[in-house]
Structure 1
């Protein structure tokens, strides 16, 4: 679908607000910048900022990039013949290869990470986000596999997958803070993902494989 002029202007305004806010947060600290100051620097009204971002934290962790549904969505969209863990591993590899901002592999992310770690509300949101991702994934796995309500297996599998996801992000963060460049980090993290696949074993990698669906006649 071709993007219309109105949609393009809205997207550009949203991106400008986000970029301006992030620059101010990195320069002065998240807790030391108000929404009014973001609005003034972006040359929009405070109401306009809130029209695009419902909370100050969303300026750093936008819902489309930091969604509690992230792992569940990846698994829900997996290909036929692919397992839940396999789908997440594949997506992580794609995002690392693409040096995507979603996994923190963009130039200048080190300063953003330092800013986030210094802001209690952002660190709390990240911690809560990880738990919610695992919960949402566990619910999806239970539904797809038809597990009994008291069956712990979907939650155990979701925990394994969630920990793998967290490990990759933590390694990227650790190396970014140490001053490594995105290209260097990507090479090492791709090796880490391969190692994780070997360690997980077939029991995890063969869980919740999407079965082929018969073609409709």
Structure 2
């Protein structure tokens, strides 16, 4: 009996999130009510609130699911000793595809994640911390393999690469980077520049 109850809970949650994915993308976040979500999911409005306190929490649930998928994707497809650049490209392109499956929904999701409303600020902070730790662990492993300097702040380094990703995502939304391969190529260039540094390399003769 408890197994059936758990299965029903999973089905209800999935139905709510699928409704949010469709309606936020079609109508926009502000123009979608909890009643709309309930009707599309085929459940009662009160049932929605038994899973999520607000529409903002529904969006953040997508972020949590995405983070779980990122962990699994990295473990499944990228060797642990792969170069850091390869791992970063794989992770951010996976996130890009996740966010842009529905253009309108992706814009709403990123806005709530970057500029959370007061009601979801604490939850946003928790997800952000999990995201940062995901990268800090990866950066620490890269340091141990000699792929990354040891005299850098890893949290700020995470912010640096995420900012480059957001720049590319914004360029895709504006049309400056029209396709997925354009986004990947731009990220690869920026990641290589970040990892190698932008200052001119000193000559081997040590001349000034």
With the shorter chain as reference, the TM-score category is 0.5 to 0.7
1:76–1:113 Cα change, 3 Å: same
Residue 199 of structure 1 and its aligned partner are, at CA, apart by 0.9
CA RMSD of aligned residues (A): 4.7
| Higher RCO, Cα 8 Å, sep 6+ | 1
**Which residues in structure 2 correspond to 1:32-181 (within 5 Å)?**
33-53=32-52, 55-61=54-60, 62=62, 63-65=64-66, 67=67, 79-84=79-84, 86-93=86-93, 100=97, 102=98, 104-107=99-102, 109-110=103-104, 112-113=106-107, 117=111, 120-121=116-117, 128=125, 129-130=127-128, 133-135=131-133, 137-138=135-136, 153=150, 156-176=153-173, 178=174, 180=175
Q: TM-score, normalised by structure 2?
A: 0.57
Structure with the higher helix share, 1 or 2: 2
Q: TM-score, normalised by structure 1?
A: 0.56
- Which residue of structure 1 lines up, in the alignment, with residue 16 of structure 2? 17
Which structure 1 segments of 5+ residues have no match?
A: 147-151, 204-217
Residue 185 of structure 1 and its aligned partner are, at CA, apart by 2.7
Asked if structure 2 preserves the Cα contact closer than 8 Å seen for 1:172 and 1:189, the reply is yes
What is the aligned length? 183
